Structure 1
Amino acid sequence: MRAQLARGDAVIVQAVIAGALSFSHLHDLADAAGQGGWKAWAYPVSVDLLLVAAWRRMREQQRAGQPAGGPRLWFLIALAASLGANVATAGLLDLDHVPASLRVVVAGWPAVAFFGGTLLAHTPRSPAPAETHTPPAAVEEPHRDALPAPSADPERDPEPTAEPVTAPTAVSAPAPIAPAVSLPPALVDRVRVLAQEHHAATGRPADPDAVRVRLGLPPSMTQSVAAHL
């Protein structure tokens, strides 16, 4: 932890020193080019702000996977202005006799910085990826196999598979006997076919309640089914 703090402190101190020197060089160059007073102090602020803004926008677009040619161009322009001031004030340029071309460059810098800052500020930012919520998959309930509906024509009915008819469970109290309800002729034929199949498969007479269950009829139709067995 202490090593990390030490490295962080060293980086901060180095950045402060470099920024102060560059700030001073830009001020001296602007003052020598005829921009005296408060204007000489505004030039280094303009260059450093454009440098930082271009760097941040370039990093944002790179992280978003977008081309960062525009911010990179303005970053290089601000970096060239800062480096040019550092080199010019290193003794290679007579600050008492600044060339007219340099005066023009210094005087035109505010318009260039304003144009670059406006483009960086109004460049559309990359939209944040929208979170998609996938609805949970619907769980399909298994369908129960239902008996086929009785057909009006008994000859076209599919042949039922021979299944042993389970004996009905014993009931402690006898259920009240409901009056028999007459069955349609198609159901009567179906009842007799099922009774014959059960007798052929088991050798025992078919139970009315079991036949009624095979036909999908309500319990109240048991007596009607028994009347035709």
Structure 2
Amino acid sequence: MRPRRSARVDPVLVQAVIAAALSFAHLHDLASAAGQDGWKAWAYPVSVDLLLVAAWRRLRSGRDRGAAWGWFLVALTASLGANIATAGLLDLQHVPAWLRILVAGWPAVAFLGGTLLAHTPEAATEPGVQPDSPLQEPASTPEIAPTAPRVPPALVAHARKLADDHRARTGAPIDNETLRTRLGVPAPLADAIAAHL
């Protein structure tokens, strides 16, 4: 007979759950104090945490680490800022206007970060061909052109403004590298955006 394993609680996991719950509550309290009541106050901590998770997953994948670190730090600043603001340093009965503006503007920031993190193309992998037997020739597979990444319409509209501004200033159409630099997106996404201009 196999010896029975006793259930053990992982103290690191317990600490992570406690820390997440406290941070979640601080974000809710700050959003509520800044005028976001009802379900909206609960949506703020979810939004911050989801952006943190999306950026962390991108960091773990090893792709676009610069953008991933940027969005991770934005979300971490929002979470840490709420923790500090609700520690008694801020009068939650009289929230300053600048903080109300930051809280009200957060959804747009989180949407942009989440969209850019979600729509960066995955690294292409070549499927290996496994023959049925050592004597059988591998079947030839037709080459499939990689699909272009999906481009959000709002990003195309913003790129058009940049392209129009570039043409007005220089008299020449914007090239893909300049567009990529101005938007801060990977080259494949910049090429896909340029195809819509």
Q: Name the structure 2 match of 1:116.
A: 113
Match of 2:100 among 95, 98, 103: 103
Whether 1:83 and 2:51 are equivalent positions in the alignment is no
Aligned to 1:56: 57
In structure 2, the partner of 1:68 is 65
Number of the residue aligned with 2:12: 11
4+ runs of 1 displaced by more than 6 Å?
none
Separation in structure 2 between the aligned mates of residue 67 and residue 99 of structure 1, nearest angstrom:
36
**Residue 131 (structure 1) shift:** 3.6
Larger RCO (CA within 8 A; separation ≥ 6): 2
SS of residue paired to 2:36: coil
Report the aligned-residue RMSD.
2.3
How far 1:46 sits from its partner (Å)?
0.3
| 1:156-192 deviation digits (Å, cap 9, x = unpaired) | xxxxxxxxxxxxxxxxxxxxxxxxxxxxxxxxxxxxx
In the alignment, what sits opposite 2:46? 45
Residue 107 of structure 1 and its aligned partner are, at CA, apart by 0.1
- Alpha carbons of structure 1 residues 47 and 128: separation in structure 2 relative to 1, 3 Å: same
Instruction: Provide the rounded CA distance (Å) in 2 between the counterparts of 1:103 and 1:67.
Output: 32
Structure 1 counterpart of 2:92, one-letter code: L
TM-score between both structures, scaled by the size of structure 1: 0.52
Task: Say which SS state the counterpart of residue 10 (structure 2) adopts.
Answer: helix
- What amino acid sits opposite 1:73 in the alignment? G
- Give unpaired runs (5+ residues) of structure 2: 135-197
- Aligned pair count reads 130
Q: Partners in 2 of 1:115 and 1:53 — Cα distance? A: 12
Q: CA deviation at 1:130?
A: 4.5
Quote the Cα distance in structure 1 between the aligned partners of 2:28 and 2:49.
Answer: 12
Superposition pairs for residues 188-199 of structure 1, below 5 Å? Answer: none
Q: Deviations over 1:126-147 (max 9, x none)?
A: 12255478xx9xxxxxxxxxxx
2-structure distance, mates of 1:39, 1:107: 10
Match of 1:29 in 2: 30
Counterpart selection for 1:125 from 122, 136, 144: 122
Residues 58 and 64 of structure 2 are in contact (CA less than 8 Å); yes or no, is this contact kept in structure 1? no
1:120 maps to a residue whose letter is L
TM-score of the aligned structures, taking structure 2 as reference length: 0.60
Partner AA of 1:39 in structure 2: K
Structure 1, unpaired ranges of 5+: 137-229
- Kindly state the Cα deviation for residue 118 of structure 1 after the two structures are TM-superposed: 0.6
The structure that has the greater radius of gyration is 1
